[in-house]
């Protein structure tokens, strides 16, 4: 049985599965059932189960190793060490198979870009410049519209954004659509702060963990991004796209969160001269908000942030995301290069 577990894990790690098969059998077939079952159970507790798994797993593993090594007969420690290594490998392989079954196979589904008919020729500098001008104008107007409103707390977001999230899921073929989940505060939050991580999805219990130091106007987008992962959009660009679409269907504060995410990425995709020229059109409010984000991120610890980024890059590449952490910025391909993205621009700012 141990050999079967390890062999199965190795096979799943190295053998490419047909994306159409994963899409049909897993992402649209098995996974929605798993998601409903797991989120239905984990929503019954306020505990962050990933914390229990992480802490309990590490403590149990260390105690197990120490107990076995201290009880090893004289001259037999190397044999016990080899046995422990093999048993730990089996546990790691089993955990990897659980990860794939509960959520991880969504990395191998058909890309949203392919399903939405992405066309690379649509994403050009002139188009991006035109869209950036319109997005900045919209952002400036939305800033003024949000000044008399309170920003939603994390625990209010399932009510404030949940209906829009369900509509977007149905538009993208997710059925049944999942409801918004209340974000939780993890024991990892101090690490999140120092590493510059805004949030994550626990891939075993499908709970949403959000860094509670994200700024009020960042909360809606960050939270919906994590919801999108639970809905089955594992790729970071796709989760960003779902969050953008969802927030644009909400109230002014939600739409401001959407554009405050996208505008810096639009600017970053342009040549330096255009960045400076168009960036000058930002109003003092959005400019102050972007400065606040930079100030928040400046409180990270560089070595922790670099290592977290490197670890995330390796994790994404190991899960078939070839561009690694660069995939976060690929949201522009979906927002600009697909019919759905362009329709959203037309509805929001009146541009084709």
Q: What are the tens digits of pLDDT across the range 157-168?
A: 999 999 999 999
320 close to 109: Cβ distance less than 8 angstroms: no
200 close to 153: Cβ distance less than 8 angstroms: no
Residues 182 and 205 in one domain: yes
**Per-residue pLDDT at 196 exceeds 90:** yes
- Which pLDDT band, with edges at 50, 70 and 90, does 325 fall under? confident
Residues 317 and 291 in one domain: yes
Residues 87 and 153 in one domain: no
Residues 80 and 13 in one domain: yes
pLDDT score, position 120: 87
pLDDT score, position 328: 75
Is residue 223 in a domain? Answer: yes
Q: In angstroms, rounded to a whole number, what is the distance separating the alpha carbons of residues 87 and 82?
A: 9
Q: Which domain does 320 fall in, by range?
A: 120-349
Is residue 115 in a domain? Answer: no
Higher model confidence: residue 27 or residue 308?
Answer: 27
Q: Is 241 exposed, middle or buried (0-12, 13-18, 19+ CB in 10 A)?
A: buried
- Which pLDDT band, with edges at 50, 70 and 90, does 351 fall under? low
Is residue 293 in a domain? Answer: yes
- Which pLDDT band, with edges at 50, 70 and 90, does 147 fall under? confident
pLDDT score, position 77: 81
Residue 103 DSSP symbol? T
DSSP H or E run through 12:
helix 2-14
If one counts the domains in the chain, the total is 2
Is residue 81 in a domain? Answer: yes
Q: Which of 171, 330, 173 is nearest to 245 (CA)?
A: 171
pLDDT score, position 315: 83
Residues 173 and 231 in one domain: yes
Residues 59 and 124 in one domain: no
Residues 185 and 154 in one domain: yes
Residues 98 and 136 in one domain: no
Residues 159 and 53 in one domain: no
Omega before 176 cis (within 30°)?
Answer: yes
Domain boundary among the residues 108, 134, 154 is at 108
**Per-residue pLDDT at 55 exceeds 80:** yes
Residues 70 and 147 in one domain: no
Residues 48 and 156 in one domain: no
DSSP H or E run through 313:
helix 302-318
Residues 79 and 148 in one domain: no
């Amino acid at each position: 049985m141990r050999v079967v577990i390890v062999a199965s894990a190795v096979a799943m790690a190295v053998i490419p599965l047909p994306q159409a098969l994963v899409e049909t059998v897993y992402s649209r077939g098995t996974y929605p059932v798993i998601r409903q079952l797991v989120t239905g159970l984990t929503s019954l507790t306020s505990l962050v189960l990933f914390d229990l798994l992480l802490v309990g797993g590490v403590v149990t593993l260390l105690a197990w190793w120490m107990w076995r090594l201290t009880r090893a007969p004289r001259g037999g420690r190397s044999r016990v060490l080899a046995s422990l290594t093999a048993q730990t490998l089996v546990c790691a392989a089993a955990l990897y198979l659980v990860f794939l079954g509960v959520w991880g196979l969504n990395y191998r589904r058909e890309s949203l870009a392919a399903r939405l008919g992405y066309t690379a020729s649509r994403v050009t500098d002139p188009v991006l410049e035109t869209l950036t001008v319109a997005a900045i104008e919209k952002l400036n107007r939305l800033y003024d519209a949000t000044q008399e409103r309170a920003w939603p707390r994390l625990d209010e977001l399932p009510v404030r954004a949940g209906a829009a999230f369900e509509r977007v899921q149905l538009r993208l073929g997710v059925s049944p659509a999942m409801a918004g989940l209340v974000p939780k505060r993890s024991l990892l939050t101090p690490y999140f702060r120092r590493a510059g991580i805004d949030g994550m999805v626990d891939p075993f219990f499908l709970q949403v963990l959000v860094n509670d130091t994200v700024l009020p106007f960042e909360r809606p987008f960050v939270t919906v991004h994590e919801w999108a992962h639970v809905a089955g959009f594992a790729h970071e660009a796709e989760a960003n796209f779902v969050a953008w679409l969802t927030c644009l269907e909400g109230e002014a504060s939600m739409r401001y969160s959407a554009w405050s995410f996208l505008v810096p990425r639009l600017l970053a995709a342009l040549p330096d001269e255009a960045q400076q020229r168009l960036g000058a059109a930002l109003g003092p409010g959005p400019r102050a908000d972007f400065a606040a984000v930079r100030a928040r991120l400046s409180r990270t610890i560089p070595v922790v942030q670099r290592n977290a980024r490197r670890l995330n890059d390796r994790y994404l590449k190991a899960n078939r995301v070839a561009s690694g952490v660069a995939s976060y910025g690929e949201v522009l391909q979906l927002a600009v290069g697909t019919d759905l993205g362009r329709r959203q621009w037309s509805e929001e700012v009146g541009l084709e």
